Amino acid sequence: MIQAFIFDMDGVIIDSEPLHFAGDIDTMRHLGGEITQEELERFVGMTNPEMWKIIRAERALVQTVDEIIAYQLAGKIKALEESAYEPIDGIPELLEELKRRGIPVGIASSSAKDFILAVLAKFGIASYFSCVVSGEEVDQGKPAPDVYLEAARQLVADPSRCVVLEDSRNGIIAAKAAGMACIGYVNENSGNQDLSAADRIVRSVREVSIDSL
Q: Return d(Cα 133, Cα 126) in angstroms, integer.
A: 13
Averaged pLDDT score across all residues of the chain: 95
Q: What's phi and psi for 167, nearest 5 deg?
A: -125, 0
Q: What is the DSSP letter of 127?
A: G
Is the predicted pLDDT of residue 159 greater than 90, yes or no? yes
Between 212 and 110, the more confident residue is 110
Q: Which fold has domain 4-15+86-212?
A: Rossmann fold (3.40.50)
Secondary structure, 3-state, 145-185:
CHHHHHHHHHCCCCHHHEEEEECCHHHHHHHHHCCCEEEEE
Percentage, residues of the chain above pLDDT 70: 100
Set 8, 15, 24, 167: catalytic member: 8
DSSP string, 64-116: -HHHHHHHHHHHHHHHHHTS---PPTTHHHHHHHHHHTT--EEEEESS-HHHH
Q: Is 66 a catalytic residue?
A: no
Quote the distance between the C-alpha of residue 170 and its chain's center: 10
Is the predicted pLDDT of residue 186 greater than 90, yes or no? yes
29-53 tens-digit pLDDT = 999 999 999 999 999 888 999 999 9
Distances (CA, A) of 101 to 4, 125, 128, 152, 181: 11, 17, 12, 18, 19
Q: Mean per-residue pLDDT for 3-14?
A: 97
Q: Which of 53, 29, 51, 30 is nearest to 41 (CA)?
A: 51
167-184 tens-digit pLDDT = 999 999 999 999 999 999
Q: Is 158 a catalytic residue?
A: no
Between 147 and 46, the more confident residue is 147
Q: Return d(Cα 171, Cα 142) in angstroms, integer.
A: 6
Is the predicted pLDDT of residue 211 greater than 90, yes or no? no
9-32 tens-digit pLDDT = 999 999 988 898 999 999 999 999
What local confidence, expressed as pLDDT, does residue 45 receive?
83
